[in-house]
């Protein structure tokens, strides 16, 4: 969907978020519009709201990502949030992780057609060999992948010391935190925090849950016997 087909507020937000790379973002939206439904990437009802619900919603989480960070996007699917982040934040080193072959093909095509320097890896974040291949990142992102408890177990091992997991969530984020707080701590995460991204540009900001990876506990030293 071209920007001509959306409201003024969406056009203004897109220009603010993507700047001189707005044309790249529009090309990504066009690819999703043409191929997304037939390739099982998005539902039919999502076509008319690609900009605000998916692309801008994903890009604004860059507010929680430091300059020059290495980012691993787990369960990237249609390329969300990884591709909008790669477009809006060319300073980032982005790796897209996805287990399904047909989606891997899609992500590789998008990277080639848009000439984005992103890495595409097939696999599941919970698999040991995939973790070894990926290494660690400053930030791990995920959108509509799994409940927080599972997500923390899968993603936090990929987060470097002092790095963060940034999970795009909906209105039930606070309830999910209450339910899964203990599981998050067991997975090595700190206290989950909720932030709204894009408040200055979006009518409906993106809700993210941010979890810092805690340093591993040091074993207690035993005193020498006299």
Domain architecture of the chain: domains with CATH = 59-212 (3.40.50.150)
Counting residues of the chain whose pLDDT is more than 70, the rounded percentage is: 94
Question: What is the enclosing helix (H) or strand (E) of 161?
Answer: strand 159-169
Give me the numbers of helices (H) and strands (E) for the chain, helices first please: 8, 7
CA 125 – CA 65 distance, rounded (Å) = 20
Please say whether the beta carbons of 51 and 18 come within 8 A.
no
pLDDT for residue 165: 98
Give the contacts of 122 (CB within 8 A, at least 6 positions apart): 97, 98, 99, 101, 104
Residue of 139, 94, 143, 133 whose CA lies nearest to 116: 94
Place of tokens 């000439």: 115
CA 155 – CA 95 distance, rounded (Å) = 13
With 0-12 / 13-18 / 19 or more C-beta atoms within 10 angstroms meaning exposed / middle / buried, residue 189 is: buried
Please say whether the beta carbons of 77 and 42 come within 8 A.
no
pLDDT for residue 133: 95
Residue of 146, 152, 158, 173 whose CA lies nearest to 121: 158
pLDDT for residue 226: 46
pLDDT for residue 162: 87
Please say whether the beta carbons of 166 and 210 come within 8 A.
yes
Q: Which residues of the chain have pLDDT under 50?
A: 226
CA 50 – CA 34 distance, rounded (Å) = 12
Helices (H), 101-147: 101-113, 128-134
What SS3 class is residue 138? strand
How do residues 77-132 score in pLDDT, each as one tens digit? 999 999 999 999 999 999 999 999 999 999 999 999 999 999 999 999 999 999 99
pLDDT for residue 167: 97
CA 65 – CA 85 distance, rounded (Å) = 10
Q: At what angle do helices 22-35 and 8-18 cross, to 10 degrees?
A: 120
pLDDT for residue 48: 85
């Amino acid at each position: 969907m071209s920007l001509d087909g959306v409201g003024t507020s969406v056009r203004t937000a897109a220009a603010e978020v993507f700047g001189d790379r707005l044309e790249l973002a529009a090309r990504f939206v066009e690819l999703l519009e043409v191929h997304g439904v037939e390739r099982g990437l998005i539902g039919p009802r999502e076509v008319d709201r690609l900009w605000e619900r998916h692309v801008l919603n994903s890009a604004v989480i860059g507010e929680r990502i430091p300059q020059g960070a290495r980012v691993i996007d787990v369960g990237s699917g249609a390329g969300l949030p990884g591709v909008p982040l790669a477009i809006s934040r060319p300073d980032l080193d982005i790796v897209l992780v996805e287990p399904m072959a047909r989606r891997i093909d899609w992500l590789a095509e998008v990277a080639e057609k848009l000439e984005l320097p992103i890495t595409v890896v097939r696999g599941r974040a919970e698999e040991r060999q995939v973790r070894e291949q990926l290494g660690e990142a400053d930030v791990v992102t995920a959108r509509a992948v799994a409940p927080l408890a599972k997500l923390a177990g899968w993603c936090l091992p990929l987060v470097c010391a002092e790095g963060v997991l940034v999970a795009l969530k909906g209105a039930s984020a606070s309830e999910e935190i209450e339910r899964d707080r203990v599981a998050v701590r067991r997975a090595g995460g700190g206290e989950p925090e909720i932030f709204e991204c894009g408040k200055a540009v979006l009518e409906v900001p993106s809700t993210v849950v941010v979890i810092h990876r805690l340093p591993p506990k040091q074993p207690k030293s035993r005193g020498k016997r006299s």
